[in-house]
Amino acid sequence: MDGPDEIIHQSLRLRIMAALHAARGGEGVEFNRLRALVGATDGNLGSHLTTLAGAGYVSLEKDFVGKKPRTRASISADGARAFRAHTDYLRGILDSAEG
C-alpha cells in the first residue's frame, strides 16, 4: 500500500471500522450499540457510516423489530481488506521509525 486510506484514517471512521472488523461474521452491529462502542453521537455516526457505505466499506441493513426501526452495520469484504491494508500501513510507519 502506497499511502494511508484517507476514508478510513479519520478518527471516528477508524473506530467504526475497528468495531465492525472485530464483529465481522455476525449479523451486523446495531446502530445504538455501535454508537456506544465508538463513542459517537447519533448524527456523527450516521454521517460517517454513510461515507463508509458510499466507499463500499460498510453495508447498512434496515428492518423492523416489532414496530421499532433497526439499522445494522457490517463490514464488507472490500472494507475488511482496506482496513487490514490500512493497519498494515500504520504498522509499517512504526517499523520504519524503529528500524
Binding interface with other proteins (CB under 8 A): 3-4, 6, 9, 11, 14-15, 18-19, 21-23, 25-27, 29, 33, 36-38, 87, 90-91, 93-94, 96-97
Question: What is the Cα–Cα distance from 41 to 38, expressed in whole angstroms?
Answer: 9
What lies within 8 Å, CB to CB, of 74 at 6+ separation is 20, 23, 24, 26, 27, 28, 29, 58, 59, 61
In angstroms, give the least distance from the CB of 69 to other proteins. Answer: 18
In angstroms, give the least distance from the CB of 37 to other proteins. Answer: 6
When the beta carbons of 6 and 62 are compared against other proteins, the nearer one is 6
In angstroms, give the least distance from the CB of 23 to other proteins. Answer: 5
In angstroms, give the least distance from the CB of 90 to other proteins. Answer: 4
When the beta carbons of 46 and 87 are compared against other proteins, the nearer one is 87
Question: Any alpha helices (H) in the chain, and if so which ranges?
Answer: 6-9, 11-22, 31-38, 42-54, 77-98
Helix (H, G, I), strand (E, B) or coil at 64: strand
